[in-house]
Structure 1
Amino acid sequence: MLSGINHITLAVSDLNVSFDFYVGTLGFTPEAKWASGAYLSSGGFWLCLALDKPAAGNDGTHYAFSVSGEAFDVFAERLRSSGITEWKINKSEGKSVYFLDPDGHKLEIHDGDLKSRLSACLAEPYEGMEFY
Structure 2
Amino acid sequence: MITGINHITLSVSDLERSFDFYTRILGCQAIAKWKKGAYLLAGNLWLCLSLDANTRKSLAAEYTHIAFSVPEKEFQKYSDRLISLGVEKWKENISEGESLYIFDPDFHKLELHVGDLFSRIAATREVPYEGMEFFGCG
Deviation at 1:42, TM superposition (A): 2.0
For residues 59-105 of structure 1, give each alpha carbon's deviation from its aligned partner in whole angstroms, at most 9, with x where no partner exists.
10000000010000011011101101100010000000001000000
**What amino acid does structure 2 have at the position aligned with 1:63?**
I
Per-residue deviation, residues 102-129 of structure 1 (Å, max 9, x unmatched): 0000001000100000000000000100
Task: Give the Cα–Cα distance (whole angstroms) in 1 for the partners of residues 124 and 77 of structure 2.
Answer: 27
> For the residues of structure 1 that align with 2:85 and 2:17, how far apart are their CA atoms?
13
**Identical counterparts, % of pairs:** 55
Misfit runs of 4+, over 6 Å: none
Offset, 1:58: 2.6
TM-score of the superposition, structure 1-length normalised? 0.97
Q: Which residue type is aligned with residue 75 of structure 2?
A: F
Unaligned runs of 5+ in 2: none
Q: In the TM superposition, what whole-angstrom CA distance separates every residue of 1:9-40 from its partner, at most 9, and x where no partner exists? A: 00000000000000000000000000000000
Question: RMSD across aligned C-alpha pairs, in angstroms?
Answer: 0.9
Return the TM-score normalized by structure 2.
0.93
> Are 2:51 and 1:61 equivalent residues in the alignment?
no
Aligned residues, how many? 132
Q: 2:125 aligns with which of 112, 122, 125?
A: 122
* Residue matched to 2:100: 97
2:79 pairs with 1:81: no
Match of 1:106 in 2: 109
Q: Secondary structure at the match of 2:38?
A: strand
- Flag structure 1 segments of 5+ consecutive residues without an equivalent: none
Structure 2 residue 41 is matched with structure 1 residue 41: yes
